[in-house]
Chains A and B, each alone.
Chain A
């Protein structure tokens, strides 16, 4: 065998092994993702869907969490929610049962969905307002100097701060120092700050993607700088800004750490709009999906009855995040086809 032939065989062998490693790495990711989605999908759909019309477990989506009571009655195992249990006791007067209670494991997650939605809307309005403004300043007005470089480094660093640190910061500043207590508004500011770097970076990129020729063309027609930005830059950057922001929404909706000290309650009976004064609306804590999942998974004793709410919540949560991501993709594709230069 000649030297070149053996060399070529070695090259092929190395290539074959490496490709198999790459392939296995990809399959591994696929397997993990499939397992997670299947596990949550199968176990969660047992909670969310029913075998009888309307096939969706409406109470799970519309009721607040309740305590589950489990007891033996005439040889039958009964599992009743708080409300059902009280009714049952009325229907069976004089019956004494030894019921064990399991917190949060009956009823639904409606207050958590509402709380998460409110947290997302408020924090995104804040983050978009501040983020787009500073992106306009950075990309359109500022001149590159030491100060601007410092600002950029600060933004990059802010993006790398762990979310629990944002939570502690929000707790220290908004909850304690400003005296807002655990409240929606403290959560808005904490979450808003957390996504701000992502929004600024995405907005700046979208603004820079608008061709310089459009700015020059507008300025050459006697438009002021602000008119140019307002009429001939921002409208074309907006789809990109919103697309990236929707991915920011997924992050805001998903984070537990920033809200556990600042905005989230483990349990609250009233819905957010059931307040006596309008101003109380902003200064009330809310339930939130990720925090609820955390609570039912780690703060209560685990047994066969807790799985229902855990997987159900995770399933609904996953579904909502997927919905947001899907919206972002559709928006992006639609704006791409409309604007092309």
Chain B
């Protein structure tokens, strides 16, 4: 199997320096794609929504964020690629998020570069009103790749990774809007994979999909974790149980419990976790 770094060398040589793992002599434990959240407080204006979050998300594994609506799990997810920058009053009031040991909110960090390394799949599938091919090629073209053969290769590879290639290979140049809901979401995943991220954030990626499409996306998530660090927000407890390695349970803006998924679902350490998982509230 070719490593991600090597593949990014093939597809987009300009990005290589930014995506290559940075060896950190001060901290040899830093691993490619790992996320460390430390004492994080986050507020929309005066409304504090995240309180003192401490969480280490391991690399090349699937971590699920679960919890009732409004508990802050999506907000935390959007902190990881600084998507919250788009909201005027939203800001981190305390603490830090480090990806591979680098504070992503430091002024020296280029947010555009960060988002290339930390891809995102949204709750509502949002294919661009372009052809399937152009959707997947979008990120590469943005990054300055112009060579047709490179783009062709990357499009095929990403669509294969997203388990969509066989369904669309004969109609790459028709609009992405013609696909079914599940296919659209997998197209969005392919689009995110095309820029060779290290981390893929998924915000309830299956909430609008039927069970068959959901099963396909979950199968995909299990495959992708071999190469990518995946963080998935889900409302669906079974989904967290089926496809994640680690689970974080949030409640009212606090991290209640974080552990192996099997442990959380069989023998949770906190009463609130147990009550939520067994459906007594939430």
Listed in ascending order, the chain A residues whose CB lies under 8 Å from chain B are 143-144, 211, 213-224, 227, 231-232, 236, 339-341
Using Cβ atoms and an 8 Å threshold, which residues of chain A touch B177? 340-341
Using Cβ atoms and an 8 Å threshold, which residues of chain B touch A144? 88
Distance in angstroms from A323 CB to nearest chain B CB is: 30
Using Cβ atoms and an 8 Å threshold, which residues of chain A touch B119? 220-221
Given A214-B129, A220-B122, 7 more A-B residue pairs with CB atoms under 8 Å apart are A213-B126, A214-B126, A216-B83, A216-B120, A221-B116, A221-B119, A222-B142
Question: How far apart are the CA atoms of A219 and B88 in the complex, in Å?
Answer: 16
Task: Verify A236–B126 contact, CB threshold 8 A.
Answer: no
Question: How far apart are the CA atoms of A220 and B121 in the complex, in Å?
Answer: 8
Question: How far apart are the CA atoms of A144 and B191 in the complex, in Å?
Answer: 32
Picked from A213, A218, A222, A231, the residue with its CB within 8 Å of the CB of B113 is: A222
**Chain A interface secondary structure, helix, strand, loop or mixed?**
helix
Task: Verify A221–B139 contact, CB threshold 8 A.
Answer: yes
Picked from B83, B143, B191, the residue with its CB within 8 Å of the CB of A219 is: B83
Interface: B212 (CB within 8 A): no
> Would A223 and B112 be within 8 Å (CB), given that A217-B188, A340-B177 are in contact?
yes
> Would A219 and B126 be within 8 Å (CB), given that A144-B88, A340-B177 are in contact?
no
Interface: B71 (CB within 8 A): no
Task: Verify B128–A232 contact, CB threshold 8 A.
Answer: yes
Interface: B86 (CB within 8 A): yes
Distance in angstroms from A64 CB to nearest chain B CB is: 49
Contact flags B75-105 to A (C-beta < 8 A → 1, else 0): 0000001010010100000000000000000
Using Cβ atoms and an 8 Å threshold, which residues of chain B touch A217? 122, 126, 128, 188, 191
Question: How far apart are the CA atoms of A75 and B116 in the complex, in Å?
Answer: 91
**Chain B interface secondary structure, helix, strand, loop or mixed?**
helix
Question: How far apart are the CA atoms of A222 and B19 in the complex, in Å?
Answer: 12
* Chain A minimum-CB-distance residue to B125: A213
Task: Verify A220–B142 contact, CB threshold 8 A.
Answer: no
Task: Verify B113–A216 contact, CB threshold 8 A.
Answer: no
Using Cβ atoms and an 8 Å threshold, which residues of chain B touch A224? 112
Picked from B86, B138, B191, B195, the residue with its CB within 8 Å of the CB of A216 is: B86
5 cross-chain CB contacts under 8 A: A216-B122, A216-B126, A220-B120, A220-B192, A341-B177
> Would A220 and B81 be within 8 Å (CB), given that A144-B88, A213-B126, A232-B128 are in contact?
yes
Interface: B157 (CB within 8 A): no
Using Cβ atoms and an 8 Å threshold, which residues of chain A touch B139? 221-223
Question: How far apart are the CA atoms of A221 and B188 in the complex, in Å?
Answer: 10
Picked from A214, A222, A231, A232, the residue with its CB within 8 Å of the CB of B195 is: A222
Question: How far apart are the CA atoms of A211 and B116 in the complex, in Å?
Answer: 21
Within 8 A of A (CB), among B48-66: none
Task: Verify B138–A221 contact, CB threshold 8 A.
Answer: yes
* Chain B minimum-CB-distance residue to A227: B142
Distance in angstroms from A117 CB to nearest chain B CB is: 34
Distance in angstroms from A94 CB to nearest chain B CB is: 78
Using Cβ atoms and an 8 Å threshold, which residues of chain A touch B141? 231
Within 8 A of A (CB), among B105-145: 112-113, 115-117, 119-120, 122, 124, 126, 128-129, 138-139, 141-143
Task: Verify B126–A221 contact, CB threshold 8 A.
Answer: no
> Would A213 and B81 be within 8 Å (CB), given that A144-B88, A223-B139 are in contact?
no
| Of A216, A217, A339, most B-chain CB atoms within 10 Å | A217
Using Cβ atoms and an 8 Å threshold, which residues of chain B touch A222? 112-113, 115-117, 139, 142-143, 195
Using Cβ atoms and an 8 Å threshold, which residues of chain B touch A143? 88
Question: How far apart are the CA atoms of A214 and B125 in the complex, in Å?
Answer: 10
Within 8 A of A (CB), among B181-238: 188, 191-192, 195
Task: Verify B191–A221 contact, CB threshold 8 A.
Answer: yes
Question: How far apart are the CA atoms of A4 and B21 in the complex, in Å?
Answer: 84
* Chain B minimum-CB-distance residue to A217: B126
Question: How far apart are the CA atoms of A55 and B192 in the complex, in Å?
Answer: 63
Task: Verify B143–A213 contact, CB threshold 8 A.
Answer: no
Question: How far apart are the CA atoms of A50 and B242 in the complex, in Å?
Answer: 82
* Chain B minimum-CB-distance residue to A341: B129
Question: How far apart are the CA atoms of A221 and B141 in the complex, in Å?
Answer: 11
* Chain A minimum-CB-distance residue to B118: A220
Distance in angstroms from B239 CB to nearest chain A CB is: 22
* Chain A minimum-CB-distance residue to B141: A231
Using Cβ atoms and an 8 Å threshold, which residues of chain A touch B142? 218, 221-223, 227, 231
Picked from A213, A215, A340, the residue with its CB within 8 Å of the CB of B124 is: A213
Question: How far apart are the CA atoms of A214 and B128 in the complex, in Å?
Answer: 6
Distance in angstroms from A228 CB to nearest chain B CB is: 9
Question: How far apart are the CA atoms of A340 and B129 in the complex, in Å?
Answer: 8
Question: How far apart are the CA atoms of A195 and B238 in the complex, in Å?
Answer: 57
Question: How far apart are the CA atoms of A224 and B191 in the complex, in Å?
Answer: 16
Using Cβ atoms and an 8 Å threshold, which residues of chain B touch A227? 142
Question: How far apart are the CA atoms of A236 and B126 in the complex, in Å?
Answer: 14
Distance in angstroms from A208 CB to nearest chain B CB is: 14
* Chain B minimum-CB-distance residue to A210: B129
Using Cβ atoms and an 8 Å threshold, which residues of chain A touch B195? 221-222
Task: Verify B122–A213 contact, CB threshold 8 A.
Answer: yes
